[in-house]
Structure 1
Amino acid sequence: MCIGTPVHMFYHRQTLLQWRNQPENTLPDEVLQTLLELSRLRDPGRQPAVFPDAGAQRKCHHKRCECKRKRGKRAGIRARLKASPSQPAIPSLFLANVCSLDNKLDYIRLQQTTQREFRDCCALVFVESWLNDNIPDSAIQLAGLTAFRADRSAALSGKTHGGGVCVYINTEWCNNAVTVAKHCSPLVEFLIVKCRPFYLVREFSAVLIAAVYIPPSASIGANAKEALCELYRSISDLQNKHPDGLFIIAGDFNHANLKSVLPKFHQHVDFATRGASALDLVYTNIPSAYRAEPRPHLAFSDHMCVWLTPTYTPLIRRSRPVQKQVKTWPAGSISALQDSFECTAWDMFREAATEGDSVDLEEYAASVTGYISKCIDDVTVSKTITTRPNQKPWMTTEVRALLRTRDSAFRVGDKVALRKARADLSRAIREAKRTHAQRIHSHFKDTGDARRMWQGIQAITNYRTMPPSCERDASLPDALNNFYARFEAQNNTMVRKTMPKPDEQVLCLTAVDVRNTLRRVNPRKAAGPDNIPGRVLRECADQLTDVLTDIFNISLCSATVPMCLKSTTIAPVPKKSTVSCLNDYRPVALTPIIMKCFERLVMRNIKTRLPSSLDPLQFAYRPNRSTDDAITTTLHLSLTHLEKKDTYVRMLL
């Protein structure tokens, strides 16, 4: 066999790249022959590759439907928790029944070293720690964690072995944690730790973590009820102290059900933790707070571990800020409005609407109401108010200004100004909270004002009603108008105007009656289409009495009501949360307050002409009467009659 001598050829990299992009017929003959022998030439039908410029960047535009990875996979709950493990909306939690914590410390330290999820966990809750006074705190310390323990007491529980709970708080998440409650009895053992982390969503004032252990012998029957009542008393006291706190109750409940005493709490563990039973449970006072996942047993423990990933969405992200336009009344605006009406020559409005001997009531009333509305716009200031879902009730304009001052001092880097701004902000917050508390206490001073008392109860209990939202359909107003006017569409009777007879005495209103009616206007009533609030009619009653009395008397003499006073704004209010048809909307009519005063004056005159022989059991269209009075009277008469022997009552409703 003949073996040829190997050929060694050396070329520069740039030369080879140039040859690669050149056609074959431009290469030197010796190089072409060598490449043919080495089988390094490309296929004849293959085109040379085109390489982009190194400095140019290729932009690839993909449609959303062409993405292989589903949207949200890289921005899910786990990804957010992994990106900022020490700043979650609510703390991540790890729950385990360790059955002797001292024997599992090496395994827990190994978990800390090898598993990032375990290392970044905000709180570790261990039950059945089996610790005693012979084991010091230094023996159970873990790196980066603060330990809180509640050992079983033989004097209180009657048992010398087992039991005990322990809570570890990650210092990177919270370094301000204290024990607020400990309890040990033969029925239940628990430890409650209050945490105030540096990063906490505004709707929560603190995080209270409770580690609970209920022995198997105390989790059935009357013992379970008594054990849960002992836990309920402590939780209830803390809820009174921290009404805006986040409560996390985790532990081994065995077969006890915490919802029997705390029905508003929500349970998050939905799998078995020992055999076929779910014994290790986690309760919180907010729904959908966590997603529970099983984890392997710690060493030789007979309970599975529970990892809880926070799924809570803060209010600031869950609900958008609400903006609304409001009219504010600066200081002295009412006095300026009174002076403007006092100097107004109201006779010129009547003269402008008079032709010969007749007065155009439509023009007269429209010009007067339009002028009043224009004067109101001149003295008031329109503002856009932004209401955020997590806004504190004691927040004031002064506190917001001091917050901006503190932030600007921090950005500039002025330490002296920052120290002063922080001190001013702290004082302003304390004063705002004190003022808010005094305002709530003032609701209960007058026991006869039921409305203010109810407002105080709503403020204390944080009672909020979520009104059902209407459909955002452009055709809904027309459909509602046709629905509400369906009865008038079938009415073919022509409207006939009945003029008073010449010898008939027409009702004439006096200025005194009109002034008294205007002064009794409720300023909280919503204005009608004319945008004249009740506050203006009440405060400027003396200035508006003459012109309104003239309009009312002309309307009575001509038996005509101006169109501007008859117009009404219909606000559809859903009767229930889910609207299925047009009948589920309740029409609320907002009529001009001036027209309400006119109707009240006419009604008072009509009542004086009614006979005094009205049925005393008539509750409709009677002052200070309501359906409550009708029900109370009916029950009183029925029960009084049933007290007699051999009697019965039949009600036809």
Structure 2
Amino acid sequence: MTFATCDSAGGLILYINIKWCNPGHVTVKETICTPDIELLAVGLRPYYLPREFSHAIVVVVYIPPSANAARACDVIHSTVARLQTDHPGAFLTINGDFNHAKLPKTLTGFTQYVKCSTRENKILDMMYANVKEAYSSSALPPLGTSDHNLIRLVPTYKPVVRRQPVTTRTVQLWSGVVEERLQDCLQITNWDLFTEDFGEDVEGLADCITLYIRTCEESIVPTKKVRCFPNNKPWINKNIKALLNRKKRAFMAKDREGVKSVQKELKGELRRAKKGYKEKIEGKLEDNSTREVWDGLKGITGQKQAGLDEGGGQDRANELNLFFNRFDVPPPTHTPPAGRVSQ
């Protein structure tokens, strides 16, 4: 990611390298200006982004030295929480001049990547991201007459497709001919033989019939092995993959009109695939398949899979307790030093 931020009493500026992101793919999400904080949130769709992220959102903040740190952090928390709700698959960063404020106690799930001093021996400029192991930082000389050092952030993030292996699973190939063959097999079955063997044992009869139907299905319905990449969304199907390959071929052939045409088809196919997946999840909810609904929601929102979740502990529990009870604790009273009169 290539960008720079500037803050002053006059406002915030976000510089974006046009080689990284087209200016037409930049959208202002939020602007806030109060005595305690200046905030600018911008949505970006760069030329390249790992498939697990829908887009990037950069939140730039400036907290003046005289600001109330608690109120400033509350503004950041509410704004970022709203952005995460509206865009659950986005890569989100928060950076700027925080001065005396810190975020870990008010916003969980973010990692602070600036580890070197930004002014003298203090870290005033920080950069938070909602992804772990994303950057490494190093200090550079100040720009011009600025009293803050420049910070170089080198990406260290590894895409999911490189961190997790490709899995292979078997899928059934249903068609009208296959359904007719399965129906014929079930119609010529002598079901009286099952009732004669089990008599009044209803559970045994149900298990036997279920096993028989599954055996008929496995012997009639053809199967195919497919490769599942870890960064693929659950609604990605063969039609979308075919359109993506067409788009790549048109791009390599420098066919701009072909790329635009395929992109239009791709948008429509993605819209239909997401709608179909949504209806599938809603159908499971109507059938009271709670576990399958939850698995589908985790796929939609991009929640981490089992085994990849962040580990807990006493420090983590204390951090959460401090966050959720912060409004119940009275703010500390400030006593001016002796010999001074508070204004």
TM range (shorter): 0.7 to 0.9
Is 2:287 the counterpart of 1:287?
no
Partner Cα separation in structure 2 for residue 278 and residue 249 of structure 1: 15
1:168 corresponding residue in structure 2: 15
1:428 corresponding residue in structure 2: 269
1:243 corresponding residue in structure 2: 88
String of CA shifts for 1:81-120, please: whole Å, max 9, x gaps.
Answer: xxxxxxxxxx0xxxxxxxxxxxxxxxxxxxxxxxxxxxxx
Aligned to 1:178, what secondary structure does the other structure show?
Answer: strand
Contact 1:399 1:425 in 2 (8 A): yes
String of CA shifts for 1:506-537, please: whole Å, max 9, x gaps.
Answer: xxxxxxxxxxxxxxxxxxxxxxxxxxxxxxxx
Please list, as runs of the form range in 1=range in 2, the aligned pairs for 1:309-388 lying within 5 A after superposition.
309-333=154-178, 335-340=180-185, 343=188, 376-388=217-229
Partner Cα separation in structure 1 for residue 107 and residue 250 of structure 2: 46
Contact 1:291 1:309 in 2 (8 A): yes
1:442 positional shift: 4.5
Is 2:283 the counterpart of 1:463?
no
1:393 positional shift: 2.4
Supply the RMSD in Å over aligned alpha carbons.
3.4
Aligned partner letter, 1:126: C
Aligned to 2:66, what secondary structure does the other structure show?
Answer: helix
The change in CA–CA distance for 1:442 and 1:260 in structure 2 (over 3 A counts) is farther
Is 2:121 the counterpart of 1:269?
no
Q: Tell me which of the two structures has the higher relative contact order, counting C-alpha pairs closer than 8 angstroms and 6 or more residues apart.
A: 2
Partner Cα separation in structure 2 for residue 270 and residue 415 of structure 1: 44
Is 2:10 the counterpart of 1:124?
no
Contact 1:195 1:207 in 2 (8 A): yes
Number of residue equivalences: 290
Q: Normalization by structure 2: what TM-score? A: 0.73
Partner Cα separation in structure 1 for residue 243 and residue 62 of structure 2: 47
Aligned partner letter, 1:466: A
1:22 corresponding residue in structure 2: none
The change in CA–CA distance for 1:183 and 1:324 in structure 2 (over 3 A counts) is same
Aligned to 1:292, what secondary structure does the other structure show?
Answer: strand
Partner Cα separation in structure 1 for residue 148 and residue 176 of structure 2: 68
Contact 1:329 1:379 in 2 (8 A): no
Is 2:140 the counterpart of 1:299?
no
Aligned to 1:291, what secondary structure does the other structure show?
Answer: strand
Contact 2:281 2:293 in 1 (8 A): no
Partner Cα separation in structure 2 for residue 405 and residue 260 of structure 1: 48
String of CA shifts for 1:426-460, please: whole Å, max 9, x gaps.
Answer: 3222222333334444555x496544553454345
Is 2:50 the counterpart of 1:201?
yes
Counterpart among 16, 21, 34 of residue 185 in structure 1? 34
Contact 1:440 1:459 in 2 (8 A): no
1:417 positional shift: 6.3
1:244 positional shift: 0.9
1:309 positional shift: 0.8
Deviates more, 1:318-327 or 1:404-413: 404-413
Aligned to 2:118, what secondary structure does the other structure show?
Answer: coil
Unmatched runs of 5 consecutive residues or more in structure 1: 1-90, 92-121, 131-150, 152-163, 347-369, 469-576, 578-653
Partner Cα separation in structure 1 for residue 295 and residue 223 of structure 2: 27
1:230 positional shift: 0.8
Aligned partner letter, 1:317: R
1:535 corresponding residue in structure 2: none
1:200 positional shift: 1.8
String of CA shifts for 1:59-89, please: whole Å, max 9, x gaps.
Answer: xxxxxxxxxxxxxxxxxxxxxxxxxxxxxxx
The change in CA–CA distance for 1:449 and 1:189 in structure 2 (over 3 A counts) is same
Is 2:78 the counterpart of 1:217?
no
Contact 1:441 1:456 in 2 (8 A): no
Aligned to 1:258, what secondary structure does the other structure show?
Answer: coil
Please list, as runs of the form range in 1=range in 2, the aligned pairs for 1:631-646 lying within 5 A after superposition.
none
String of CA shifts for 1:316-355, please: whole Å, max 9, x gaps.
Answer: 2222321123444444535524533655799xxxxxxxxx
Aligned partner letter, 1:212: V
Higher strand share: 2
The change in CA–CA distance for 1:313 and 1:435 in structure 2 (over 3 A counts) is same
Partner Cα separation in structure 1 for residue 69 and residue 287 of structure 2: 42
Contact 2:94 2:127 in 1 (8 A): yes
Aligned partner letter, 2:3: A
2:100 corresponding residue in structure 1: 255
Counterpart among 294, 310, 316 of residue 454 in structure 1? 294
Contact 1:267 1:282 in 2 (8 A): yes
Q: Normalization by structure 1: what TM-score? A: 0.40
Aligned partner letter, 2:13: C
Unmatched runs of 5 consecutive residues or more in structure 2: 192-210, 312-343
Contact 1:406 1:418 in 2 (8 A): yes
When Rg is computed on C-alpha atoms for both structures, the one with the higher figure is 1
The change in CA–CA distance for 1:411 and 1:293 in structure 2 (over 3 A counts) is closer
1:288 positional shift: 0.9
Partner Cα separation in structure 1 for residue 44 and residue 249 of structure 2: 30
Aligned partner letter, 2:107: L
String of CA shifts for 1:521-554, please: whole Å, max 9, x gaps.
Answer: xxxxxxxxxxxxxxxxxxxxxxxxxxxxxxxxxx
Contact 1:203 1:390 in 2 (8 A): yes
Please list, as runs of the form range in 1=range in 2, the aligned pairs for 1:219-234 lying within 5 A after superposition.
223-234=68-79
Partner Cα separation in structure 1 for residue 66 and residue 256 of structure 2: 61
The change in CA–CA distance for 1:401 and 1:262 in structure 2 (over 3 A counts) is same
Partner Cα separation in structure 1 for residue 258 and residue 145 of structure 2: 58
Please list, as runs of the form range in 1=range in 2, the aligned pairs for 1:63-102 lying within 5 A after superposition.
91=1
Counterpart among 227, 230, 233 of residue 392 in structure 1? 233
Paired-residue identity, % = 34
Contact 1:443 1:456 in 2 (8 A): no
